[in-house]
């Protein structure tokens, strides 16, 4: 069984380890699918350094509610939520599940928690974003299986 608990500073190292393992298969495929100059601009010191710094900053961000999934006494995933009351929208700002716990209901538990959190605040819709590259295909499949509908967005880059 998975319990969702409020993030606490003692969870940080485990959350960063989940970050390392969950995104390790994603970024190499992403790097192949996007223009090289774009990847280098976003990750000049490598994707891992940037991702770890971003996740640590999110854990400290007062606008994001962070939650840890606990399975068998270990952090098995985490979730960051934001409320955009002006749009009556809740945002799953970040979500990750340790690969050792994937396909065991942890992601579903995090999603269900997110939807309940949003409903409790009277929000009318949920939103999540992810990449359109091959590395993010599992995330897109998970979101679609949770009932999300894809909103078409086009983002363009031009090297200067």
- Predicted pLDDT of residue 100: 96
Backbone phi and psi for residue 135, each to the nearest 5 degrees, phi listed first: -65, -30
- Predicted pLDDT of residue 158: 85
Q: Where are the domains of the chain?
A: 2-145
For 66-97, how does the pLDDT look when each residue is reduced to its tens digit (9 = 90+)? 999 999 999 999 999 999 999 999 999 999 99
Query: Which CATH superfamily is 2-145 part of?
Result: Gcn5-related N-acetyltransferase (GNAT) (3.40.630.30)
Cβ-based neighbours of 54, under 8 Å, separated by 6 or more: none
Residue count of the chain, please give it: 160
- Predicted pLDDT of residue 155: 87
- Low-confidence stretches of the chain (pLDDT < 50) are none
Please tell me the pTM assigned to this model.
Answer: 0.94
């Amino acid at each position: 069984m998975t319990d969702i608990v409020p993030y606490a500073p003692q969870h940080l190292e485990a959350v960063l380890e989940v970050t390392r393992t969950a995104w390790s298969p994603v970024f190499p495929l992403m790097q192949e699918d996007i223009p090289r100059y774009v990847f280098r601009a976003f990750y000049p010191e490598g994707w891992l350094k940037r991702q770890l710094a971003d996740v640590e900053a999110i854990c400290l961000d007062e606008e994001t509610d962070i939650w840890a999934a606990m399975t068998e006494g270990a952090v098995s995933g985490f979730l960051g939520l934001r409320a955009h009351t002006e749009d009556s929208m809740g945002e799953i700002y970040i979500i990750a599940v340790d690969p050792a716990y994937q396909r065991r209901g942890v992601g579903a538990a995090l999603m269900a928690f997110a939807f309940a959190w949003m409903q409790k605040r009277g929000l009318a819709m949920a939103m999540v974003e992810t990449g359109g590259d091959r590395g993010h295909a599992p995330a897109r499949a998970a979101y679609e299986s949770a009932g999300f509908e894809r909103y078409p967005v086009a983002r363009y880059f031009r090297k200067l």
